[in-house]
Amino acid sequence: MAVAARSVSPDGWGDVIVAAATPHGHSALALVRLTGRGLDEVLRQVLRGHHTARPWEDVGRARRVDVVGSDGQAIDDGLATVFRGPATATGEDVCEVTVHGNPLLVQLVVQRFVEAGARPAQPGEFTRRAVMQGRLDLLSAEAVDQVIRATSPGGLRLGRAGLSGVLARRVDATRQRIVDVVAELEARLDYPADELALENDVALCEALHAVGDALRSLGESHRAGQALVDGVRVALVGPVNAGKSSLFNRLVGRPRALVHATPGTTRDVVEARCRVGPLEITLLDTAGERSTDDPVEAAGVALGQELVDDSDVILVVLRAGPHAVDDVERELLERTVERRRLVVYNGVDRPHATPPEGALCTSAVTGEGLEALQKALVRAAGVGSMGDELLVASARQRDLLLRVAAACDAAVEAMDVAGVAVSADLLTEALGFIDELTGADTREDVLDAVFARFCIGK
């Protein structure tokens, strides 16, 4: 959806900024990007054309250049392409310089541009300028970040959908429907004696209910969207010798954690990533829990419990055997009862008692139950039932969508109780939330929070 352009504030906006736009590391080529007012003056000091004296004047065409130091000696040779605002990604003049992909060279090139008057870009500052200049709305900007961070094909599709404007169009249509209802209510307030109503109260309430339900459903898709973009952290907890490390290795698909019959073999937290269905999962194999006087083992258990608190899903691994659940296992089950968890009864290849109700039966030795466990992990992440419907992966978007939905519900309730004026005020508040959602009316601190997690150079 279109966003009105904003004036550039004097506190740094419009300065020429520079950053490497490709990841750190050795590669054939690397890209250094600049944007801002006064760009030509910076380029004049740093770039020397091979076939033209002023390569930055040849707009939209890649030109061979040397990047020269303050002493006039070439740092590297490459290609420079200049684009003129406002028809650029940032709405300002932009230059992209391609150099050889040695991290030391890239650092020297960026530093040379800084010496010439540019300043290092902040995280997400290029995209933020696009928002400030009205080239992107905030929903599309967040989609840029999601495309960059996506850990799964589903996360990439979600980000691409945001960039294509699907979410913005849905929000725009919702906003227009609320505007129509507000206009109806305001007309009744302004001309109470006239028969100006185009829709009766039942139709208005049904419309607001539909808007609230749709936005609530969209907001509640956040868990699945975030899992697709960021992946899921899964912690394996359980008593010593429950087979956590063996199960961990099975899920990872290779020997990653040390497995031994000696109790307390795993003392530190072992971490590995694996693909489970549509998700990238980070598995954390924690130290087996038991009473111990060993300070190293106790520290490992404490660290594991701390990391478990930051996990999205917990696998409580119980030992399958001839006896019922013991005290350590019972305490684990009680401690995690309020968390999103799966209870795994591991070792069913051996003689065992009746598994606890609802537990997934597995054998890390034979692989029995492994497929069912993987499917249960995907469902626990909230992705199992999701089809191709629109999702959101931003907690900010989720919170604002739910606030709009709540305001619509409150407006319906107020219609008969508090009156039309209160309903109109609540819906006007909902419109403010939508404008904050799209960036049409967003505070600087909100923008700071959104772009803080962006990579530098984007």
Mean pLDDT of 169-182: 90
> Is the alpha carbon torsion for 344, 349, 355, 360 positive or negative?
positive
Mean pLDDT of 387-394: 80
Residue in the block written with tokens 């209160």: 422
Question: What pLDDT is stored for residue 451 in this prediction?
Answer: 81
Pair of tokens at residue 213: 């339900």
Taking only the tens place, the pLDDT of each residue in 300-337 is 556 656 667 888 999 999 988 888 778 888 888 888 88
Rounded Cα distance, 44 and 125, in Å? 23
> Contact 36/15 with Cβ under 8 angstroms?
yes
Q: What is the dihedral of CA 99, 103, 109, 115, to 10 degrees?
A: 170
DSSP secondary structure code for residue 55 in this structure? G
Question: What pLDDT is stored for residue 2 in this prediction?
Answer: 42
Mean pLDDT of the chain: 84
Rounded Cα distance, 412 and 419, in Å? 10
Backbone angles phi, psi at 74, to 5 degrees: -70, 130
Burial pattern 107-117, b for ≥16 Cβ within 10 A else e, equals eebbebbeebb
> Contact 404/177 with Cβ under 8 angstroms?
no
> Contact 70/115 with Cβ under 8 angstroms?
yes
136 SS3 class: coil
Taking only the tens place, the pLDDT of each residue in 341-379 is 999 999 888 888 788 888 999 988 888 999 999 999 999
Angle value at C-alpha 283, between 282 and 288, nearest 5 degrees = 155
Where do the domains of the chain lie, and which CATH numbers do they carry? 17-136 (3.30.1360.120), 144-222+391-438 (1.20.120.430), 232-380 (3.40.50.300)
Q: What is the dihedral of CA 23, 26, 30, 35, to 10 degrees?
A: 40
